[in-house]
Amino acid sequence: MSIMKSLQPTRIKTIADYHNLRKLPKADHPLISVLRFEDIRITQAQLPQSLITDLYLIALKHNFDGKLKYGQDHYDFDDGVALFMAPGQVFTIEADEELKHTGWLLLIHPDYLWNTPLAASIHKYDFFHYFVNEALHLSKKEEKLLTQIFKRIAEEYHARIDRYSESVIIAQLELLLTYSERFYSRQFITRKIQNHRILSRFEEMLADYFKQETFLIDGLPTVTRLAERLNVSQSYLSATLKMLTGQSTQQIIQNKVLEKAKEKLSTTDLSVSEIAYALGFEHPQSFNKLFKNKIQMSPQTFRQSFKLN
């Protein structure tokens, strides 16, 4: 029965839904909730439990003796770490007994951000879409700083609501996200060896892809496919590559495609359409458009200029 249960996620559409699921008192606000994990009880009978939320979720956890799982992969979730989830993400909670842990949980309905600067800017924080071994590991100093921000949000949340309440909470939330972005950048640097391994494996996979001409069957290599093979999220892969190379995953793939295109244009008599199909493009027009945008000339003009030289 537990296996069937884990395959059927419970959908959390509102703050009230979450409070009802956890048998918590009514939230002080219908669109935002600040909770202590000490007050949340998840019994052994409720586990494993799969959830999908329509909320933003930010958690800072300690002493977590269970496991969080995305698909078939477990979250790299040790003591003193934070996680961020955007609406629509599915995760499973597993534990051998009643789950007991400490820390903070912030739930935000997207409507709470309406008509605030965060409504648009929250999408720039890629870490809401990180998953598979990508939790934010915090130093004691960093953990203390984020805890203080959680506490300030909680104090404002539980205080008497006035016309400044939302602005104060939004300001603290922006501060929390900005610091988290800084700490993730630090984590990329301190995990340099691991990240260089990701880059090396990525470059090997891309090289093999073109060497074996896999694109003739599978089409152009995609960010999704490469990230899955590396067992990281698309956002995390792009963030890692951006830090190490200054380019996103898509930019690197496109550059590799253009390298192969130039090689074929300069060393073969294949038509432009034949080269486009050979590189995995469904339509030659798409190949022409990409080539012209990036090289500043059409494939045919490039071929002619090469011959002239």
Concatenated DSSP letters of 172-186: HHHHHHHHHHHHHHH
pLDDT score of 19: 96
Closest to 210 (Cα-Cα) out of 147, 218, 300, 82: 218
Q: Is the dihedral of CA 58, 63, 66, 72 positive or negative?
A: positive
Amino acid at 255: N
pLDDT score of 9: 85
pLDDT score of 1: 38
pLDDT score of 5: 43
pLDDT score of 132: 44
Contact 172, 152 (CB under 8 A): yes
Amino acid at 142: E
Contact 143, 196 (CB under 8 A): no
pLDDT tens digits, residue range 185-199?
Answer: 888 777 776 777 888
pLDDT score of 2: 40
Residues 6+ apart with CB under 8 A from 168: 156
Alpha carbon of residue 118 to chain centroid: 18
3-class DSSP state for residue 2?
Answer: helix
Q: Helices 284-295 and 299-308, interaxial angle, to 10°?
A: 60
Question: H or E element: which one contains 85?
Answer: strand 81-85
pLDDT score of 110: 96
- Length of the chain equals 309
3-class DSSP state for residue 67?
Answer: strand
Q: Which residues of the chain carry a pLDDT beneath 50?
A: 1-6, 72, 132
pLDDT score of 3: 42
Hey, what are 216's tokens?
A: 């003739």
3-class DSSP state for residue 282?
Answer: coil
Contact 92, 68 (CB under 8 A): yes
pLDDT score of 285: 92
pLDDT score of 306: 64
CATH for the 2-137 domain, from 1.10.10, 3.10.110, 2.60.120, 1.10.1060: 2.60.120
pTM, 2 dp: 0.69
pLDDT score of 34: 96
pLDDT score of 75: 56
Domain boundaries, the chain: 2-137, 193-308
CB atoms within 10 A of CB 91: 19
pLDDT tens digits, residue range 265-283?
Answer: 988 888 999 888 888 888 8
Amino acid at 272: V
For domain 193-308, give the fold.
Arc Repressor Mutant, subunit A (1.10.10)
